[in-house]
Amino acid sequence: MTTTTTTGGAPAPGATAASAAEWAKLWTLRSTRTAMAAAPVVAAAAAAVFCVTMAATTGVGPADRPAFDVVTTSLLGADAAAVVLLAASAASAGSEYATGMIRGTLAATPRRGRFLLGRAAAVGAATLGLGALSALAAFATGQFVLFSSGLPVAAPGDPQVVRAVAGAALMAPFYSLAATSLAVVARSTTGGVVGALSLLALPTLVSWGPVSWRGVLLACLPGEALHSLAGLTAPGAASPLPPVAAGAVLSAWTVLLLGAAWTALSRRDA
């Protein structure tokens, strides 16, 4: 008697393998790799510009401000780095659609939710690390400006300073995940970048609205949540959100954006 054994197709990669594959792809595109590596440098350069031009742009120089004001000004450099990282993240996702590589990706990882979570994990991990480096670079640059001018510097261990730097570091992963999700929804790099930048600009636009409702809207936006986690008050907001509420708002936006990307992936062909 002979026995015939039928071998099925190769099993779909697990979550860890999917994340590893997406991590590798994230660093494959040269322009994306270069942009991501440049983010801390951009943060330091932008922080230097903001601090050095503070007197000209606001009428009050570093010598006439508390050291913490210089900290928050220098951390605008982390905002600049976040823009670089969101653009790189959108380019990585959008290039798969532009080149048709997405078809091979979904053939290798047919479970589209697993592919999306793998991409989100890779983007989140990379931009969290680079966001932290960028925030530290921006902070250090601001302190160097104070030190080189013979002015008192902020204590690095001050809880207010630590919270501000940590909050600034969270900008990059959130907006990079937003850009990735929106690039998947739009199937293009441009859609991801424009969508994420629009989300970034929303608090400023809302702050111009009537006082009667802008406070409520601001509390629902990710920009206000990020400001609150950093211990700061966004323009137009009455006071920071409690940390738990801010974390909930940020988490809800992340789930909403990834959910939109998953819906687009599951309902459309590659």
Domain limits of the chain? 15-198
Handedness of CA 106, 110, 116, 122 (dihedral sign): negative
Handedness of CA 34, 170, 211, 216 (dihedral sign): positive
% of the chain surpassing 90 pLDDT: 54
Residue 139 one-letter amino acid: F
**DSSP classification of residue 8:** -
Which of the listed ranges 8-12, 59-63, 180-184 does the model predict with the highest average pLDDT? 180-184
Per-residue pLDDT, 237? 55
**DSSP classification of residue 187:** T
Pairwise CA distance, residues 240 & 234, whole Å: 8
C-alpha dihedral, 101 to 104 to 110 to 115, nearest 10°: -40
HEC string of 24-90? HHHCCCHHHHHHHHHHHHHHHHHHHHHHHCHHHHHCCCHHHCCHHHHHHHHCHHHHHHHHHHHHHHH
What are the phi and psi torsion angles at 158 (to 5°)? -60, 125
* Three-state DSSP state, 238: coil
Residue 152 one-letter amino acid: P
Per-residue pLDDT, 3? 45
Per-residue pLDDT, 6? 42
Pairwise CA distance, residues 191 & 161, whole Å: 35
Kindly tell me if the per-residue pLDDT of 257 is higher than 90. yes
Per-residue pLDDT, 252? 97
pTM: 0.88
Q: What is the pLDDT of residues 186-216, one digit of tens each?
A: 999 999 999 999 999 988 888 777 766 777 7
Pairwise CA distance, residues 158 & 58, whole Å: 26
Residue 74 one-letter amino acid: S
Kindly tell me if the per-residue pLDDT of 10 is higher than 60. no
Kindly tell me if the per-residue pLDDT of 5 is higher than 60. no
Handedness of CA 247, 253, 256, 259 (dihedral sign): negative
Q: What is the pLDDT of residues 34-59, one digit of tens each?
A: 999 999 999 999 999 999 998 888 88
C-alpha dihedral, 120 to 123 to 127 to 130, nearest 10°: 150
Residue 183 one-letter amino acid: A
Kindly tell me if the per-residue pLDDT of 230 is higher than 60. yes
Q: 112 and 184 in contact (C-beta within 8 Å)?
A: no
Q: What is the pLDDT of residues 69-109, one digit of tens each?
A: 999 999 999 999 999 999 999 999 998 888 887 777 777 76
Mean pLDDT of 111-133: 92
Q: What is the pLDDT of residues 68-78, one digit of tens each?
A: 999 999 999 99
The confidence band for 8, taking pLDDT boundaries of 50, 70 and 90, is very low
Q: 180 and 118 in contact (C-beta within 8 Å)?
A: no
What is the distance, to the nearest Å, from the Cα of residue 238 to the centroid of all Cα atoms in its chain?
25
